[in-house]
């Protein structure tokens, strides 16, 4: 068995590599053409396409009370259920959600954060940064008007309004009773004053200072309850309503995203380079086959 010396093996490898290089140089125009043409086309097309701004925000789901009826399933306003209901937002949904300018929204991604069960992550890609805040509000409105969510909001709102109404009624009754007690106390003070002026002995010996102090305490309690009632009325005037969640402050990129453009150009460059090298050696193989046939 003949074993080639190590020097001859290294020399053959150098010769083979040099032969490959000569093939590439020989057909360099084909290699450069196949490499550059797709790369230039993809680069021009990618740069001419509209670039989008990205905004991120989250919806914090409130801790809502469960239904009063035990047999009813607990509240459907949960982060997993919202993600399940809204799903992937397609073009038809964009028209429903973004009624003002649906064409300006490229994509919407709704997902659950890994370490939270009461939040929903939202990512919006849009043509301009100024429409992203309104886009988040439109998404929250859309979620709030989903049939299942809307029914739950109506139920909770009705229970909240009923509870508020009962609290106000109870406050009115308490204020009315306190006013009657204070009125009786003032009447008693006036009667005692008249009897003292007429130098008559009161039927019940009571310190007038205690009665005056009691009147002050009753007055303060009445004012406090009246102020609490005013605060509840103001809350109704401010239209504080139950909704599907609270929208957090959005984070919007100052520059349009170009990660996909770079990625597309790099992948095209690598593929076209490999395609060019394959084409060069394939043509070389065909030429050598023709020579052998002759």
Q: Can you give the pTM of this predicted structure?
A: 0.52
222-264 tens-digit pLDDT: 899 888 888 777 665 444 466 678 888 888 887 776 666 778 8
Cα(212)–Cα(188) distance, integer angstroms:
10
Answer yes or no: are the C-beta atoms of 148 and 82 closer than 8 Å.
Answer: no
Cα(199)–Cα(221) distance, integer angstroms:
34
Cα(228)–Cα(218) distance, integer angstroms:
15
Of 78-82, 172-176, 206-210, which range is least confident?
206-210
Please give the mean pLDDT across all residues of the chain. Answer: 79
Cα(153)–Cα(144) distance, integer angstroms:
8
34-56 tens-digit pLDDT: 889 988 998 888 777 777 889 99
């Amino acid at each position: 068995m003949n074993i080639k010396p190590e020097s001859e093996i290294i020399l053959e490898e150098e010769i083979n590599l040099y032969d490959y290089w000569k093939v590439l140089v020989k057909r360099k125009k084909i290699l450069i053409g196949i490499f550059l043409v797709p790369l230039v086309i993809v680069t021009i097309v990618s740069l001419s396409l509209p670039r989008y701004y990205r905004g991120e925000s989250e919806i914090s789901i409130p801790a809502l009370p469960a239904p009063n009826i035990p047999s009813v399933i607990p509240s459907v306003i949960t982060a997993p259920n919202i993600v399940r209901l809204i799903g992937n937002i397609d073009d038809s949904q964009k028209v429903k959600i973004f009624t003002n300018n649906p064409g300006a929204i490229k994509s919407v991604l709704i997902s659950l954060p890994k370490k939270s069960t009461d939040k929903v992550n939202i990512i919006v890609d849009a043509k301009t940064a100024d429409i992203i805040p309104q886009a988040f509000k439109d998404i929250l409105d859309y979620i709030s008007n989903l049939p299942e969510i809307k029914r739950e909001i109506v139920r909770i709102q009705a229970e909240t309004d009923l509870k508020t109404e009962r609290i106000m009624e109870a406050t009115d009754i308490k204020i009315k009773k306190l006013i009657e007690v204070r009125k009786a106390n003032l009447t008693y003070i006036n009667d005692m004053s008249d009897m003292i002026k007429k130098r008559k002995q009161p039927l019940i010996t009571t310190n007038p200072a205690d009665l005056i102090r009691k009147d002050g305490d009753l007055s303060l309690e009445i004012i406090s309850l009246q102020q609490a009632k005013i605060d509840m009325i103001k809350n109704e005037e401010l239209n504080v309503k139950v909704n599907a969640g609270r929208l957090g402050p959005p984070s919007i990129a100052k520059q349009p995203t170009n990660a996909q453009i770079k990625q597309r150009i790099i992948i095209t460059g690598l593929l076209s380079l490999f395609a060019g090298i394959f084409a060069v050696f394939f043509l070389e193989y065909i030429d050598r086959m023709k020579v052998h046939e002759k």
